[in-house]
Amino acid sequence: MRASIAQPATLIATCLVLAAFSPALSNAQVLPDSSAAEAIERAIESIDEDAGDTSLLVETLEFLLENPLDVNTATIDELSLVPGIDEGLAFAIVDYRRNRGPFQSLPELQLVPGLTEDVFQDARPYLMIGEELKTRTKRPSPFPSPVPVRELVRGIRLDVIQRVTRRLDTGVGYQDDSTRTTYVGGPERIYSRLRATYGRRLSLNLTGEKDPGEVLDWSPSTGSLGYDHVTGHAAIRDFGRIHTLVVGDYVAAFGQGLVFWKGLSAGKGRDVIGPASRSGNGITPYGSTDENGFLRGVATTIRLTRALSVSGFASRRTLDATVSASDSLQQELEEVNLTNTGLHRTPTEIAKRDALSEALLGGNVEFTAGKFSIGAVAYKSQFDKPLIPGDAAYQRYRFTGRDVGIASAYGSWFISTFRLFGEVARDQDGNVATFGGTSARFGRGIRAVMIARRYPRSFTNLHSFAFGESSGATQNESGVYLGLRVTPARHWVISTYMDQYRFPWIRFGVPMPSSGHETLLLVEHRPRRWLNWYVQARSETKEGGVPVVDDSGQTVDGLRDETRQSVRLNLQYEFSKQLTLRSRVEVTRFSAEKEPTATGTLLLQDLRWNVSPALALDSRLMLFDTDSFDARVFTYEYDLRYSFSIPSFSGRGQRTYLMLSFKPQQNLLLQVKYAVTRYENVETVGSGLDEVAGNRLREIRAQLLWRI
């Protein structure tokens, strides 16, 4: 989206002005310590390596760490956001306090059936006991009381974040060359954020970001208005009957995601139960960097009674799209396709910016009483130009037209230690998608989930993100997923899943209907608070496209099995609160018919050293060696606060980084990270406009976080 501010300095100046007049200045807020980052790291490593952008997940977990949930008032949906707690455990917590009264202390949570000591340790940083129990009335109001204005102003916390990152080895796209296309802007990535919050009750946010290659310039005549991406909102929560009210940018998630799911989502990974049996968390204010995954307008959820709530949301925003027209005098459109990169670095990319407009109106009603909940969600959207996919065979069933309308009904029912859940959606053309399953708890040590999904090839939805192999597509897929987590002994956890899926229509690069299956086995052991290790084995076989020669000697499209496997051993040892080491070995293997088998190896050693309360150091030495891109390796790495990544590596080389975190005051955090990746036996790195001469890539990242 186009910005409404000029320069990074403009936003920074605004921050400083507000800070100067902030009533909280005399009582500066304390930044969370390094244990917050460690809790988030455990959660990030539990998601799929192919999940992509994790910024919204990181921000959600950071917010929970800084504003823990009161276990005596939190809802099932809120508790389901906590790492280690799926909806089944969340219900068990709520049911326990309903039958036995409020929790007197956090360790009492371990009395909840199914909540083991290890789950408690993972969830504890995100939970708290709220107001003093003795001050609670015998008959509390079902709706939170509004916060007095004086208390609200006095308790506001202001966060100022300024981040600048830059590759030191830049590609040919940044060179002056009038004979070919180059990037219009500099190689810096600039991120600025101003956020004011009052616990979980109030949020005011303004975020601006410029990607590498994009221009940062105030020039309305040319359409350049400062930051390439600007997002902002004003939101209140838990004010009387108002559960949530957002003006500005927001995300929304309902049911199982067949109709509407914008925002936080995780696919298959180390958590084999939670992502498959998720529950929508309704409307949430948005302030992240993904330029496509949000709505802009007004949204609210109102509690009509303790059990019944209604939501309404309206949005109007422009979107990036590829628009090509014929050469006729009437300029008939040949193709209009949405694009999701969010990059505007070249004239071609800039031409796609804001090329399409969408107006959307939707609503939700949900009833929750005791052990069951039911709901319905629907929306209608209209584009100013008709979407017209290309004429390739794999695009045949993509949506065509201006108007999209879809609705669904969903529900969840707890029966003893079982939970039944599901959703049925119908689009405007009558196509029906279904998702259903059950999760169960057997004793304290066994959790299981089974789901089935069917997303027809012609099912139309542009705002869904249901669970599946093709995360986010919610189209052209059916499958069955089984997940099991067993705690055979104290501090031991064994997890496994199996997913069998089929694509009833052709996909990009796959010329006919295809199928696949995936399995994972994970063994974790945490014998001490300061020692933990795990072994993970993963295998996926999927049919891919390949040209074959038939009996007559003609080359035709065919299928072949492609198998990717990996085994990982990870060990973490805390010598003390000051020093932590982490080691990892991972081996990958890729095989396909009539091709040599490709293998990959990764070795890494991490060191985290808290030199003093004001200074921390993170470093990594990693070696990787893969035969091809198909045998690539993934690895999570420490990064600046609110910025985490899971990059992939192929070829042969080494990666090292060093990050310093300096906290000269309790309310000020300065971080600098320097990273370098060296490749062996290559003369260039990258491709296209990002091709770099030589065999190394260097990057420096710096961030200031000031809390007032």
Tell me the CA distances in angstroms from 153 to 25, 67, 68, 205, 333, one per residue in order.
12, 17, 21, 16, 53
Nearest Cα to Cα of residue 49 among 653, 649, 507, 462? 649
Residue type, 648: S
Q: What residues contact residue 699 under an 8 Å CB cut-off, 6+ apart? A: 165, 166, 167, 168, 674, 675, 676
Residue 98's CB is within 10 A of a number of other CB atoms, namely: 9
Structural domain includes residue 351? no
Indicate the range of 139-143, 247-251, 318-322 predicted with least confidence: 139-143
pLDDT tens-digit readout, 680-708 = 999 999 888 998 999 999 999 999 999 88
Considering only residues 59 and 172, tell me which one the structure prediction assigns the higher pLDDT. Answer: 172
Ranked by mean pLDDT, which of 39-43, 218-222, 352-356, 564-568 comes out on top? Answer: 564-568
Nearest Cα to Cα of residue 115 among 107, 104, 126? 107
Tokens (6 digits) for 681: 């036996």
Distance of CA 112 to the CA centre of its chain: 29
Nearest Cα to Cα of residue 10 among 159, 230, 165, 187? 230
Tell me the CA distances in angstroms from 164 to 85, 179, 259, one per residue in order.
35, 30, 37
Considering only residues 135 and 210, tell me which one the structure prediction assigns the higher pLDDT. Answer: 210
Nearest Cα to Cα of residue 251 among 216, 224, 281? 281
Tokens (6 digits) for 661: 């975190």
Q: Could you tell me the pLDDT band of residue 42, with boundaries at 50, 70 and 90?
A: low
pTM of the complete model: 0.87
Q: What pLDDT does 528 receive?
A: 85
Q: What pLDDT does 472 receive?
A: 66
Tell me the CA distances in angstroms from 211 to 208, 228, 318, 341, one per residue in order.
10, 8, 19, 11
| pLDDT tops 80 at residue 323 | yes
| pLDDT tops 50 at residue 170 | yes
Tell me the CA distances in angstroms from 369 to 78, 255, 307, 414, 480, one per residue in order.
16, 16, 6, 11, 29
Torsion of CA 45, 609, 161, 22, to 10 degrees: 120
Task: Please name every residue paired with 247 in a beta bridge, in sequence order, or none if there are none.
Answer: 234, 298
Q: Could you tell me the pLDDT band of residue 301, with boundaries at 50, 70 and 90?
A: very high
| pLDDT tops 90 at residue 164 | yes
Residue type, 132: E
Considering only residues 500 and 219, tell me which one the structure prediction assigns the higher pLDDT. Answer: 500
Structural domain includes residue 115? yes
By residue count, the chain amounts to: 708
Residue 36's CB is within 10 A of a number of other CB atoms, namely: 17
Torsion of CA 75, 81, 83, 85, to 10 degrees: 40
Q: What residues contact residue 89 under an 8 Å CB cut-off, 6+ apart? A: 79, 112, 114, 115, 119
Angstrom distance (rounded) from CA 444 to CA 691: 54
Angstrom distance (rounded) from CA 668 to CA 162: 12
Mean pLDDT value across residues 108-131 = 83
Nearest Cα to Cα of residue 319 among 347, 348, 355, 344? 355
**H or E segment to which residue 168 belongs:** none
Q: Could you tell me the pLDDT band of residue 521, with boundaries at 50, 70 and 90?
A: very high
Q: What pLDDT does 363 receive?
A: 95
Mean pLDDT value across residues 326-336 = 61
Ordered DSSP codes for 149-167: HHHHHHH-EEEEEEEEEEE
pLDDT tens-digit readout, 12-40 = 444 444 444 444 443 455 555 555 555 56
Residue type, 274: G
Residue type, 219: S
pLDDT tens-digit readout, 457-487 = 999 888 888 888 876 678 999 999 999 999 9
The 3-state DSSP class for residue 323 equals strand
Indicate the range of 29-33, 420-424, 530-534, 645-649 predicted with least confidence: 29-33
Structural domain includes residue 87? yes
Task: Please name every residue paired with 660 in a beta bridge, in sequence order, or none if there are none.
Answer: 617, 672
Q: What pLDDT does 40 receive?
A: 63
Structural domain includes residue 327? no
Q: What pLDDT does 38 receive?
A: 58
- For residues 204 and 234, the answer to whether their CB atoms sit within 8 Å is yes
Tokens (6 digits) for 344: 């505007």
**Total domains, the chain:** 1
Residue type, 63: F
| pLDDT tops 60 at residue 287 | yes
CATH number at residue 117: 1.10.150.310
Q: What pLDDT does 332 receive?
A: 67
Residue type, 42: R
Distance of CA 435 to the CA centre of its chain: 21
Does residue 43 come out as left (phi exceeding 0), alpha (psi in the -120 to 50 range) or beta?
alpha
Q: Could you tell me the pLDDT band of residue 111, with boundaries at 50, 70 and 90?
A: confident
Q: Could you tell me the pLDDT band of residue 6, with boundaries at 50, 70 and 90?
A: very low
Alpha helix (H) residue ranges in 289-352: 347-352
Structural domain includes residue 95? yes
For residues 372-409, one letter each, b for 16 or more C-beta atoms within 10 angstroms of the residue's C-beta and e for the rest, the string is: ebebbbbbebebeeebbbeeeebeebbbeeeebebbbb
Structural domain includes residue 288? no
Q: What pLDDT does 26 receive?
A: 39
| Residue position matching structure tokens 């910005």 | 3
Q: What percent of the chain has pLDDT over 70?
A: 86
Segments forming the whole domain that contains residue 104:
68-135
Mean pLDDT value across residues 430-437 = 94
502 burial via Cβ count (<10 Å: 0-12, 13-18, 19+):
middle
Considering only residues 516 and 306, tell me which one the structure prediction assigns the higher pLDDT. Answer: 516
Report angle CA 496, 456, 396 to the nearest 5 degrees: 120
Structural domain includes residue 83? yes
| pLDDT tops 80 at residue 264 | no
Report angle CA 414, 481, 281 to the nearest 5 degrees: 50
Residue 11's CB is within 10 A of a number of other CB atoms, namely: 24
The 3-state DSSP class for residue 17 equals helix
Q: What pLDDT does 529 receive?
A: 81
Mean pLDDT value across residues 409-428 = 91
pLDDT tens-digit readout, 370-389 = 788 999 999 999 999 898 88
Structural domain includes residue 91? yes
| Residue position matching structure tokens 């071609």 | 348
